[in-house]
């Protein structure tokens, strides 16, 4: 591996902390049993009176989809894991602009979490999500339908978190899933590609929306769609940020006020990467600029990686070709309000 990236000696992925409001947790903590293993998976609640139609099964979605087709209406799909924020809503707005009908899926996908990760404590607030989605846009339109399946609907044969125990059909996009985030989270993109395949098969949307915030995910999904001949067009929506530049993320809720402010250096570092690139196309110089900015507020050891990669192949670059550009991406472990660390990822295009 080229020496242009910065990797720490320890690459353990931090367990995040239990943030679930008591309101949501206890009645919903659900166990998935398979081959004697038990994976905790908190699920969305049954809808109370909802201002939006909520579908729970693939059969219901297919029936809704057939109706749209019969009426000649186009469908946009926005896949999410809930805990919605303005970044998610930008995707929703893009879909509403470009399609006759918009479906948002809310599903915390177990197969993309390693057993050591935060599946059970991933933030969930279904009612708040529905409220946001029900808010009408300037043209008095709202999201048409939410697909919020239970785990059994998406994984009818169970989904143990240990990959060695998983049986059945899974989807891997080889060559794009092993580097960057895939190095630290080896089963992450297999889980993402699998659940996105399921969603595309069930919904068959004209268009599907992903955020640039998770840029490797967009590269993986585009290749998935191309290689498995899905008919949906993938749209990538720019990253939404706090006023100080911090990329919005459901996990920012774990940060203290101070670290949330300090974390502004992450985007500042990425902007400095762009400035350096205007003078110098060496990946090493670009990475140095990012690292030196981030270390204004955080220890060097907390920077998991800063890498410069090709936009399509994710090949690690030593020099950026001005006609092709590149992705600068990074992960930093930032102190959180529980005395631990929260991983933040971000990127910028050169």
Minimum CB separation of residue 247 from ligand AMP in Å reads 5
91 binds ligand AMP (CB under 6 A): yes
Minimum CB separation of residue 80 from ligand AMP in Å reads 4
Backbone angles phi, psi at 47, to 5 degrees: -70, 140
Residues 203-232 as x/- pattern, contact with ligand AMP by CB under 6 A? -------xx-xx------------------
Helical (H) or strand (E) element with 111:
none
Residue closer to ligand AMP by CB (options 55, 236) is: 236
81 binds ligand AMP (CB under 6 A): yes
Minimum CB separation of residue 66 from ligand AMP in Å reads 26
Minimum CB separation of residue 246 from ligand AMP in Å reads 9
253 binds ligand AMP (CB under 6 A): no
Q: Please pick, from the candidates 99, 249, 342, 347, the single residue that binds ligand AMP as defined by CB under 6 A.
A: 249
Residue closer to ligand AMP by CB (options 158, 211) is: 211
- Residues ≥6 apart with Cβ < 8 Å to 49: none
Q: Residues touching ligand AMP: how many (CB under 6 A)?
A: 17
Quote the crossing angle between the two packed helices 188-203 and 215-227, to the nearest 10°: 50
199 binds ligand AMP (CB under 6 A): no
Rounded Cα–Cα distance for residues 108 and 111 (Å): 9
- Residues ≥6 apart with Cβ < 8 Å to 67: none
Please name which of 238, 239, 208, 240 lies closest in space to residue 224, comparing C-alpha atoms.
Answer: 208
Helical (H) or strand (E) element with 346:
strand 341-349
Q: How many CB atoms lie within 10 A of CB 184?
A: 18
> Which parts of the chain fold into alpha helices (H)?
22-25, 58-71, 86-98, 126-134, 151-154, 181-184, 188-203, 215-227, 257-262, 264-279, 283-294
80 binds ligand AMP (CB under 6 A): yes
Please name which of 44, 77, 56, 49 lies closest in space to residue 147, comparing C-alpha atoms.
Answer: 56
In the DSSP assignment, the letter for residue 336 is: B
Rounded Cα–Cα distance for residues 110 and 306 (Å): 27
Residue closer to ligand AMP by CB (options 239, 293) is: 239
Q: Please pick, from the candidates 34, 68, 87, 104, the single residue that binds ligand AMP as defined by CB under 6 A.
A: 87
Q: Please pick, from the candidates 34, 90, 190, 333, the single residue that binds ligand AMP as defined by CB under 6 A.
A: 90
Q: Is 34 a catalytic residue?
A: no
Length reported for the chain: 350
Q: Which stretch binds ligand AMP (CB under 6 A): 79-87, 170-178, 300-308, 319-327?
A: 79-87
Catalytic-labelled residue, pool 34, 88, 150, 321: 88
Q: Which stretch binds ligand AMP (CB under 6 A): 20-28, 247-255, 304-312, 326-334?
A: 247-255
- Asked if 60 and 35 touch (Cβ cutoff 8 Å), the reply is no
Q: What angle do CA 151, 119, 163 make, to 5 degrees?
A: 75
Residue closer to ligand AMP by CB (options 80, 187) is: 80
Backbone angles phi, psi at 49, to 5 degrees: -70, 115
118 binds ligand AMP (CB under 6 A): no
Q: Please pick, from the candidates 95, 250, 252, 336, the single residue that binds ligand AMP as defined by CB under 6 A.
A: 250
**Residue number closest to ligand AMP, CB atom:** 211
Residue closer to ligand AMP by CB (options 54, 283) is: 54
In the DSSP assignment, the letter for residue 12 is: P
316 binds ligand AMP (CB under 6 A): no
Q: Please pick, from the candidates 187, 239, 252, 309, the single residue that binds ligand AMP as defined by CB under 6 A.
A: 239
Residues 166-185 as x/- pattern, contact with ligand AMP by CB under 6 A? --------------------
Please name which of 108, 44, 53, 46 lies closest in space to residue 80, comparing C-alpha atoms.
Answer: 108
Which residues of the shown chain bind ligand AMP in the complex (CB under 6 A)? Answer: 80-81, 87-88, 90-91, 210-211, 213-214, 237, 239-240, 247-250
Active site positions, annotated: 88
């Amino acid at each position: 591996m080229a020496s242009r990236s910065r990797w720490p000696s320890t690459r353990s992925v931090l367990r995040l902390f239990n943030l679930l409001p008591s309101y949501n947790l206890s009645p919903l903590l659900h166990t998935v049993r398979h081959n004697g293993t038990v994976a905790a998976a908190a699920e969305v609640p049954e809808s109370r009176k909802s201002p939006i139609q909520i579908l729970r099964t693939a059969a219901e979605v297919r029936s809704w989809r057939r109706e749209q087709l019969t009426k000649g209406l186009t469908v946009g799909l926005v896949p999410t894991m809930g805990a919605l924020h303005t970044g998610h809503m930008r995707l929703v707005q893009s879909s509403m602009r470009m399609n006759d009908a918009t479906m948002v899926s809310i599903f915390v996908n177990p197969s993309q979490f390693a057993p050591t990760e935060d599946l059970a404590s991933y933030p969930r607030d279904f009612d708040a999500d529905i409220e946001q989605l029900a808010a009408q846009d300037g043209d008095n339109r709202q999201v048409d339908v939410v697909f919020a399946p239970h785990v059994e609907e998406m994984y009818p044969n169970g989904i143990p978190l240990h990959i060695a125990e998983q049986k059945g059909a899974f989807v891997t996009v080889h060559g794009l899933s092993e580097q960057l985030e895939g190095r630290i989270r080896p089963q992450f993109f297999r889980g993402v590609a699998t659940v996105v395949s399921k969603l595309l098969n069930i919904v068959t949307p004209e268009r599907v929306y992903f955020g640039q915030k998770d840029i490797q995910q967009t590269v993986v999904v585009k290749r998935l769609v191309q290689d498995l001949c899905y008919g949906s067009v993938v749209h990538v929506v720019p990253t939404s940020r706090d006023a100080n530049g911090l990329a919005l993320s459901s996990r920012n809720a774990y940060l203290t006020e101070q670290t949330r402010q300090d974390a502004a250096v992450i985007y500042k570092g990425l902007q400095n990467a762009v400035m350096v690139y205007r003078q110098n196309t060496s990946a090493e110089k670009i990475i140095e600029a990012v690292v030196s900015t981030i270390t204004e507020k955080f220890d060097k050891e907390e920077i998991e990686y800063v890498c410069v990669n090709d936009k399509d192949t994710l090949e690690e670059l030593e020099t950026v070709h001005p006609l092709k550009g590149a992705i600068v991406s990074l992960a930093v472990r930032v102190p959180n309000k529980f005395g631990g660390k929260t991983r933040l990822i971000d990127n910028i295009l050169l």
